[in-house]
Amino acid sequence: MKKEYTITVFSEHKVGLLHRITVIFSRRKINIESLNTSESEVKGIYRFTIVIRTSEDMVKSVTKQIEKQIGILKAFYHTVDEIVYQEIALYKVPTVAFANGDEVESLIRKHNARILTIEPEYIVVEKTGHKEETRQLLWELEPYGILQFARSGRIALTKQIKEISTYLKEIDKHHQETANDVVTY
Ranges 70-74, 106-110, 113-117, 156-160: which has the least confidence:
156-160
Q: Which CATH number fits the domain that encloses residue 33? A: 3.30.70.260
Residue 118 lies in a domain: no
pLDDT at 68 over 90: yes
CB 24, CB 63: distance < 8 Å:
no
Contact indicator for 83, 156 with CB cutoff of 8 Å: yes
> What's the number of domains the chain is made of?
1
Mean pLDDT (the chain, rounded):
89
- Whether the full predicted model's pTM is greater than 0.85, yes or no, is no
Which residues, 6 or more positions from 179, have their beta carbon under 8 angstroms from its beta carbon? none
Residue 39 included in any domain: yes
Could you tell me the pLDDT band of residue 159, with boundaries at 50, 70 and 90? confident
The CA-atom distances, in angstroms, between 87 and each of 50, 90, 154, 155 are 13, 10, 5, 6
Whether 116 is covered by a domain: the verdict is no
Residue 185's pLDDT is 46
In a domain, 72, yes or no: yes
Task: Tell me which residue range forms the domain holding 60.
Answer: 3-81
Q: What is the pLDDT of residue 175?
A: 56
Q: What is the pLDDT of residues 26-56, one digit of tens each?
A: 999 999 999 999 998 888 889 999 999 999 9
Classify residue 141 by burial, with Cβ atoms within 10 Å: 0-12, 13-18, 19+.
buried
- Amino acid of residue 169: K
